[in-house]
Amino acid sequence: MALPYNPALDGLRALAVTAVVVQHAGFEEGGYFGVTVFFVISGYLITSLLLAEHASTASIDVAAFYRRRVARLAPALLLAAAAITIWLLATSTPLAQWWAGLLGTLTYTTDVLLVTPVWPHVGTAFEWSWSLGIEEQFYLVWPILMIWMLRRHNGRRWLALVAAGVVVAAWIQRARLSTGHPTHARVNFAFDVHMDSIALGAILALVLAGWPVVSRQLRAVAELLGIVAAVAVFAVIRQPWQTMKLTTYDLGGYGQVALLCLFVVAVAVIAPTGGFARALSLRPLVHVGKLSYGIYLWNQLLALICLHMTGHLPARTGAGLLVWALVLLAVAQLSYRFVENPLRTRWGQRRGRSLATVAG
C-alpha cells in the first residue's frame, strides 16, 4: 500500500534545513530547532509507511525496512564522510581532534560519543551527525515494537500510548537536567533530550490512521493552528536557544518546539490542498526539500573550507555568502542526482513483492 506524495512536507524540510545551514554559516543559533522539524516529519512518515505496510500485508518486513534505511542514508553519508576525512588529512588536522567523529558518523553513535569523555575527539567537522544517530537508534526499536503491538487488540492505541510515554519521559528528563549544570552537548545532542520529537510524529501517524476522514471544519481549524504554530516556530528559531525556555522544566525549549512542529506537520497532512500546504508546495521550496539530506551532510564541511580559505565563516564574507550557498546547492544537487537516487534504487530493491516508499 503506497502513501501519496505530499510536496508540503518537502517544503517543510527546505525551511528546516535552511535553519540548520544559517546557523552553521555563522548567524545566530536556531539550527537545533530545524533538526526538531526533521524529527517530527521523520516520525510521521516512517510510522505511516510501516502502518501502510501492515495494513496491506498484515506484517512488517523489518529486514526490508532496514535495507531501505541503509539505501536511503548510507551512499551520500559515506561519500560525505570520505570527503571530510580527506579534507582533514589534507589540512593536517591532528587525528586526535576528529577520530571519534568519524567513528560516530559511520556507526550512528555521535550523539552518544558527544556526552562521553571522548567528546573532544569528535570535532566540528563531524558533530552534525548527532541527529542521524538519534534517528537510527529510535528506529532500531520502533519497527519491532510496532510488530509486537499491532498483533494485539487496539494495537494502534497501545502504540500511541507508548509513544506518549516517550514524550513524557523526555519532558521529565529535560526537567531533571534543568536542576543541574549539564554541558552544551548534554542539552543539545543527547537521545533522551530529543526522542519526543520523533515520538510526536509517530503519534500523529497513529491518530490519522484511525481517523481517515477529516471534516471540512476541522481542516479549517487545523490550518489556522498550523499557521500560528509556524509563526511561533520561526520566532523561536530566530532566538538563541538559551532564551526560549518558556518554562524552566523544558531545558532548551525542545519540547515546546516539537509540539509546535507537530501542529505544522499535521496541517500539511490534514489539509494538503489548503493555502498553508500550497505555500509550502512552491516548486523552489520542494526542490530544496528534496536536496535537504545532501545539504545537511555537506554544509558543515563547506563552511569549514570557507573559514580555512577566507578566515571567516560564510556569514562574514559579504557576497561570498551567496557564492558559498550556490556551491552548497550544486554539491547537494550532484549528490542527489548521481549518488542518493541511483544507489537508493539499487540498494533498496527487494525480491518478491514490491513496497512503495515515501520520497525522502
pLDDT digits (tens, 9 = 90+) for 205-228: 999 998 777 778 888 888 888 889
Q: How far apart are CA 164 and CA 180, in angstroms?
A: 25
Q: How far apart are CA 43 and CA 28, in angstroms?
A: 27
Q: Which of 69 and 215 is assigned the larger pLDDT?
A: 69
The amino acid occupying position 255 is G
> Are 43 and 200 a contacting pair, CB within 8 Å?
yes
User: Can you give the residue range of the structural domain that contains 206?
Assistant: 29-273
Exposed e or buried b per residue across 234-271, where buried means at least 16 C-beta atoms within 10 angstroms of its C-beta = eebbeeebeebbeeeebbbbbbbbbbbbbbbbbbbbbb
The amino acid occupying position 167 is V
The amino acid occupying position 19 is A
Q: How far apart are CA 209 and CA 70, in angstroms?
A: 26
Helix 31-57 and helix 254-270, axial crossing angle in degrees, nearest 10: 50
Q: How far apart are CA 326 and CA 339, in angstroms?
A: 19
Whether residue 295 lies inside any domain: the answer is: no
Residues 6+ apart with CB under 8 A from 301: 80, 83, 84, 87, 125
Q: How far apart are CA 231 and CA 284, in angstroms?
A: 20
pLDDT digits (tens, 9 = 90+) for 77-122: 999 999 999 999 999 999 999 999 999 999 999 999 999 999 999 9
Whether residue 123 lies inside any domain: the answer is: yes
**In the predicted structure, residue 343 carries a pLDDT above the cut 80:** yes
Residues 6+ apart with CB under 8 A from 2: 52, 356
Give percent of the chain with pLDDT exceeding 90.
Answer: 74
DSSP 5-23: P-HHHHHHHHHHHHHHHHH
The amino acid occupying position 43 is G
Whether residue 193 lies inside any domain: the answer is: yes
Whether residue 161 lies inside any domain: the answer is: yes
Helix residue spans in 58-154 (DSSP H): 62-90, 99-107, 110-113, 124-127, 130-150
* Cell of residue 175, nine digits: 526537567
Helix 320-335 and helix 62-90, axial crossing angle in degrees, nearest 10: 140
Q: How far apart are CA 94 and CA 289, in angstroms?
A: 35
Whether residue 151 lies inside any domain: the answer is: yes
Give percent of the chain with pLDDT exceeding 70.
Answer: 92
Tell me what the mean pLDDT of segment 315-323 comes to: 95
User: Domain tally for the chain?
Assistant: 1
Radius of gyration of the CA atoms of the chain, in A:
20
pLDDT level of residue 348 (50, 70, 90 thresholds): low
Whether residue 281 lies inside any domain: the answer is: no
DSSP 289-335: HHTHHHHHHHHHHHHHHHHHHHSS-GGGSTTHHHHHHHHHHHHHHHH
Predicted local distance difference test score (pLDDT) of residue 145: 96
Helix residue spans in 210-291 (DSSP H): 216-237, 254-270, 275-280, 283-290
Whether residue 65 lies inside any domain: the answer is: yes
Predicted local distance difference test score (pLDDT) of residue 226: 85
Q: Please, what is the average pLDDT of the chain?
A: 90
Whether residue 13 lies inside any domain: the answer is: no
